[in-house]
Amino acid sequence: MSNYYLEVKNLTKYFGRRLIFSNLNFRLSDSGIFGISGPNGSGKSTLVKIIAGIIGANKGEVKHFLDGKEIIPEKIHNHIGFVSPYLVLYEEFSAEENLLMFAKIRGVDYDKSRVDYLFEKFLLLKRKDDLVKTYSSGMKQRLKFIFALMHSPKLIILDEPTSNLDDEGKNSVYELIREEGNKNIVVVASNEKNDLEQCTETIFLENFKQINQ
């Protein structure tokens, strides 16, 4: 059971004058797999970016709590793992150099055994010393999962997690979602039926509002 939870209160986001969504309210607590779905442009990616603290909201707030205490915004990034198609790692470095640098910049220990386990799980162990620019798009997507999980985050946000992946890759991701969902909060933003089937609860965004399913 996770001791992490987050609360979204009256969340409203505009891009310029265009309303993306308004008055979203939900709470994600305990461990579990939570889906966010909706038609294109409904604000799935925007919502997960706001939850991750990457962009701000126009109204409302997202609060993260660990052991009952609110996490200050400056430290949220150390508790979150994030995967999305628009995430790009440094191509001039090898996969392992990237991860080593990220651990140092985050100010956390580089857990080599965990990273090697993840490399093994995502079938990249033999290629970990190769420059990221030599990777295929599917390999880059798998590397993003290692990046997201290397620091054992309590909240894992997966935006379109299976894009660019072959069937073997998708199965690894579903296995990982189920595994992480048992001990942490996993948020999956997707329109893929198979992705959403993994979720125990789904928030559907449509016409600027949320519909809980």
Partner 1 sequence: MNSKAYNLFLKDFRSELRTRYAINALAMFIIVAISVILFSIGNEKINENLTAGLFWVVIFFTAMSGLSRAFVSEEERGTTLTLQLIASPTTVFSGKLIFNVILVFAMNAIIALLYGALFEDFIIKNFLLFLATFILGNIGLAVSSTIIAAIIAKAGAKGTLYPVLSFPILLPLILTCVQLTLFSFDGTSFEKSRFELAIIVSYDVIMITVSYLLFDFIWKE
Instruction: Based on the shown chain and the rule CB under 8 A, indicate whether residue 75 belongs to the binding site for partner 1.
Output: yes
Q: Which residues pair with 125 in a beta bridge?
A: none
Cα–Cα distance measured from residue 193 to residue 191, given in angstroms and rounded to the nearest whole number = 6
Structure tokens at 184: 């942490």
Subset of 164-183 contacting partner 1 (CB under 8 A): none
**Residue in 26, 60, 66, 77 binding partner 1, rule: CB under 8 A:** 77
CB atoms within 10 A of CB 208: 15
In the three-class reduction of DSSP (H, G, I as helix; E, B as strand; rest coil), residue 29 is classed as: coil
> Footprint of partner 1 on residues 45-64 (CB under 8 A)?
52-56
Query: Least distance from C-beta 211 to partner 1, angstroms?
Result: 28
| Interface with partner 1, residue 34, by CB under 8 A | no
Say whether residue 190 binds partner 1 (CB under 8 A).
no
Q: Tell me 71's DSSP state.
A: P
Contact between 5 and 187 (Cβ < 8 Å): no
16 makes contact with partner 1 (CB under 8 A)? no
Q: What share of the chain is helix, strand, coil (3-state, %, to 5)?
A: 35, 30, 35
Indicate which single residue of 11, 36, 51, 89 sits in contact with partner 1 (rule: CB under 8 A). 89
Minimum distance, C-beta of residue 93 to partner 1, in the bound complex (Å): 7
Decide if 188 contacts 34 (C-beta within 8 A). Answer: yes
Q: Which of 18, 92, 113, 212 binds partner 1 (CB under 8 A)?
A: 92
Which 3 state secondary structure label does DSSP give 83? Answer: strand
In the complex, least distance from residue 156 CB atom to partner 1, rounded to whole angstroms: 12
In the list 66, 87, 123, 125, the residue contacting partner 1 (rule: CB under 8 A) is: 87
Report if residue 66 touches partner 1, rule: CB under 8 A.
Answer: no
19 neighbors 57 (Cβ within 8 angstroms):
no
User: Residues interacting with partner 1, by CB under 8 A?
Assistant: 52-56, 74-75, 77, 80, 82, 84, 86-93, 101-102, 104-107, 147
